[in-house]
Structure 1
Amino acid sequence: MFKYIDVGSFDVTHLPKKQLDIVEADSFWTFSALLDTIQDNYTFAQPGIQKKVSDLKDLMNRADPALYKHFEYHQVEFLQFAFRWMNNILMREIPLRATVRLWDTYLSERHGFSEFHTYVCAAFLRLWSKQLLNEYDFQGIMLFLQSLPTQGWTDKQICELTADAYSLMQVFHGARSHLKD
């Protein structure tokens, strides 16, 4: 049986060397698996991030056309906020505990970091759609997007977010051309 450990405050120096070696090996494997799927995010001109931002923009045009048009009307470019989401894999947008839970989901998906993350970002935007539609200028929209109210997020919110992302992926992934206007 495992006992709950708070990943944000646990001091790893208290682990026996054998356990620390296991944690180190698991951490190395996990990080290697992550980097293998998003390597093109961190090469010259960052083509992976550019493509993901473009895919997010196209997806939002279909998944939430009202929000997409609202962004267009106020000249909000997806690159202005989604670049950070793609570059940091939402780590700056949600608390550490929620990030660990989200990344665990990504690791369990075949293309979690490289493909599923875009759907998570779309679900993330849809979650805030009502508030964003109530912002009536570029500055208000950008300030909201740069300071989302996620400080108290737990597994529950991540489960809801990933469930919506999974639904979006089931509807839109592989259906790009026949769903365009």
Structure 2
Amino acid sequence: MENEVDAFWAFAGLMDRMHKNFEMDQKHIRNQLMQLRDLLMIVNPRLANYLESHQSDNMYFCFRWVLIQFKREFSFSDIMRLWEVLWTDLPCENFHLLICVAILDKQMNFIIENKFGLTEILKHVNDLSTHIDLEQTLISAEAIYHQLAASQDKLPRHICAILGMQVLESDDAAASREGSPTKTLAL
């Protein structure tokens, strides 16, 4: 940014959103990686199962993506666009996790066909830097969100919570709560 004032306030806004990622206990970042794993299990169970069978389901190879919200993955102009999208919190607050899912979904065949383990996946993910098509990734991530939203009533409650979808009990579920722990999900 050419204007120092704009640069300062953009940085202040960025740190407001991401400061928890830099806490010493890394609790917040680990939580996001587990949310990413859970989303991947719903969106792409084949890849999720592959990662689990190759001791890679901790999603540590996505650490940098989540930590600095893709700063190293895109050009300056692309990262400014991406952050502007992310800062809207639309379609959901954790849209960055759906972006991760979209990128991994696109890389699934390459990872599985090459029988990558954690080290190779990490190298491959790092090598994607500046080679990810932002526009296509945003389109894919938004499509994933809308597919999940359309089947919201079939999603586990914690997935709805990750995506910021309101979890409501139906009247029937509230009436039968004592007999059954099942809840109905709705926007």
Q: TM-score, normalised by structure 1?
A: 0.70
Q: Which residue matches 2:139? A: 160
Q: State how 1:32-43 maps to structure 2 within 5 Å.
A: 32-43=12-23
Change (3 A) 1:28 1:161: farther
Query: Relative to structure 1, is the Cα distance of residues 44 and 140 closer, same or farther in structure 2, using a 3 angstrom cutoff?
Result: closer
2:76 is the alignment partner of 1:96:
yes
Distance 2:54 2:65 in 1: 20
- 1:173/1:93 CA distance change after superposition, 3 Å: farther
Distance change (3 Å), C-alpha of 1:25 and 1:178: closer
The residue number in structure 2 matching 1:118 is 97
Task: State the superposition RMSD in angstroms.
Answer: 3.1
Residues in 2 aligned to 1:57 and 1:152: alpha-carbon distance in whole angstroms: 21
Q: Which runs of 5+ in 1 are unaligned?
A: 1-6, 13-22
Aligned pair partner of 1:146 in 126, 151, 163? 126
Q: Provide the residue aligned with 2:46 in structure 1.
A: 66
Contact 1:91 1:99 in 2 (8 A): yes
Gaps in structure 2 of 5+ consecutive residues: 161-187
8 Å CA contact 1:95, 1:152 repeated in 2 = no
**Residue identity in the other structure for 2:66:** M
Q: CA deviation at 1:152?
A: 6.8
Q: Give the drift of 1:72.
A: 1.3
Within 2, Cα distance between the matches of 1:103 and 1:48? 19
Distance change (3 Å), C-alpha of 1:179 and 1:121: closer
Measure, in 1, the Cα distance between the counterparts of 2:79 and 2:151: 25
Q: Once the two structures are aligned, what percentage of the paired residues are identical?
A: 24
Distance 1:41 1:73, change over 3 A: same
Tell me if 1:133 matches 2:99. no
CA distance 1:179–1:88, shift in 2 (3 Å) = closer
Q: Does 1:105 align with 2:85?
A: yes
Matched, 1:85 2:65: yes
Alignment counterpart, residue 51 of structure 1, candidates 5, 17, 31 = 31
Q: Secondary structure at the match of 1:129?
A: helix
Deviations 1:62-106 (A, max 9, x none): 110000111112222434212111112112223333212111101
Distance 1:178 1:94, change over 3 A: closer
How far apart are the structure 2 equivalents of 1:39 and 1:111? 22
* Cα deviation, residue 119, structure 1: 1.7
| Residues 93 and 147 in structure 1, CA contact (< 8 A), matched pair in contact too | no
Number of positions where the alignment pairs a residue of Structure 1 with one of Structure 2? 158
Match of 1:28 in 2: 8
